[in-house]
Amino acid sequence: MSNKHYYIGLATTMHDPAIAIMDGEGNILFAEASERYYQNKRAIGCVPDNPVYIKHLLKKYCAEGADYTIATSWSKKETKKLLAGNALGLQRMQLASGVKKRLEKMASQEGAYDTMAWMNRLNLGMQLNAGQSLEYNLRSVMSARSIEIINCDHHSTHAALACYGSGFDDAACFVVDAGGENGCFRVFKYRDGRITLVDKQKTGENLGGFYTFLTNVCGFDSVKGEEWKVMGLAAYGSYNKELHQLLSSLYHVKGCHLLYSHDKKTTREIHKQIKTIADKGISDFIFKADLAFNGQLVYEEWMTQMINGIYAMNISENLVLSGGCGLNSSYNGKITEQTGFKQLYVPSAPADDGNALGAAMLACYEQKGFKNQHKKISAYLGSEIRDDSIENFLKFGGISNIQKLGADKYAVVAQLLADGKIIGWAQGRAEFGPRSLGNRSILADPRRKEMKDIINERVKFREEFRPFAPSILHECGPDYFEHYEESPYMERTLRFKNEVLEKVPAVVHHNQTGRLQSVKKEWNPGFHQLISEFQKITGIPLLLNTSFNVMGKPIVHSAEDALSVFFTSGLDALVLNDYLVKK
Residues ≥6 apart with Cβ < 8 Å to 74: 12, 13, 123, 127, 151, 152, 153, 154, 181
Alpha carbons 58 and 53: distance in angstroms, whole number: 9
Chain centroid to CA 357: 13
CA distance 328 to 228: 8
DSSP 31-47: EEEHHHHHT-GGGTT--
Q: Is the pLDDT of residue 373 over 70?
A: no
DSSP readout, 461-513? ---TT---EEEEEGGGHHHHBTT----TTS--EEEBPGGGTTTSGGG--TTSE
Task: Say how many C-beta atoms besides its own lie within 10 A of residue 352's C-beta.
Answer: 28
Please write the tens of the pLDDT for every residue from 183-216.
899 999 999 899 999 999 878 888 998 999 899 8
Give the closest residue to 543 by CA, choosing from 507, 493, 513, 570: 507
Query: What residue ranges define each of the domains in the chain, with the CATH number in brackets?
Result: 5-164+352-376 (3.30.420), 207-345 (3.30.420.40), 382-582 (3.90.870.20)
Confidence bin at 374 (pLDDT 50/70/90): low
Tell me which DSSP letter residue 309 carries: H
Neighbouring residues of 567: CB distance < 8 A, sequence distance ≥ 6: none
Given pLDDT bands bounded at 50, 70 and 90, which one contains residue 2?
low
Does residue 105 carry a pLDDT above 70?
no
Cβ-based neighbours of 4, under 8 Å, separated by 6 or more: 23, 24, 62, 63, 66, 67
**What is the total residue count of the chain?**
583
What single letter denotes the amino acid at residue 451?
M
Three-state DSSP state, 280: helix
Least confident of 44-53, 363-372, 463-472, 533-542: 363-372
| Helix (DSSP H) and strand (DSSP E) numbers for the chain | 22, 24
**pLDDT for res 376:** 83
Average pLDDT over all residues of the chain: 92
CB 4 within 8 A of CB 10: no
The DSSP call for residue 554 is: P
Burial level of 282, CB count in 10 A (0-12/13-18/19+)?
Answer: middle
The C-alpha R_g of the chain, in whole angstroms, comes to: 23
At 443-461, the pLDDT tens digits run 999 999 999 999 999 999 9
Q: For residue range 375-400, list pLDDT tens digits in order.
A: 789 999 999 999 899 999 999 999 88
Look at 87-101, 296-310, 453-467 and tell me which has the smallest mean pLDDT.
87-101
Please, which pLDDT band fits residue 370 given cuts at 50, 70 and 90?
confident
The CB density around residue 451, as the number of other CB atoms within 10 Å, is 19
User: What residues pair up with 10 in beta bridges, in sequence order?
Assistant: 19, 72
Q: How confident is the model at residue 267, as a pLDDT?
A: 80
Q: Report whether pLDDT(147) > 80.
A: yes
Q: CA–CA separation, 236 vs 296, rounded Å?
A: 12
In this predicted structure, the answer to whether residue 100 has a pLDDT above a threshold of 60 is no
Give dist(CA 555, CA 547) in Å, integer.
Answer: 6
Q: What kind and span of H or E run contains 320?
A: strand 318-322
The string of pLDDT tens digits covering residues 495-532 is: 999 999 999 999 999 999 999 999 999 999 999 999 99
CA dist 219 and 463 (Å) reads 13
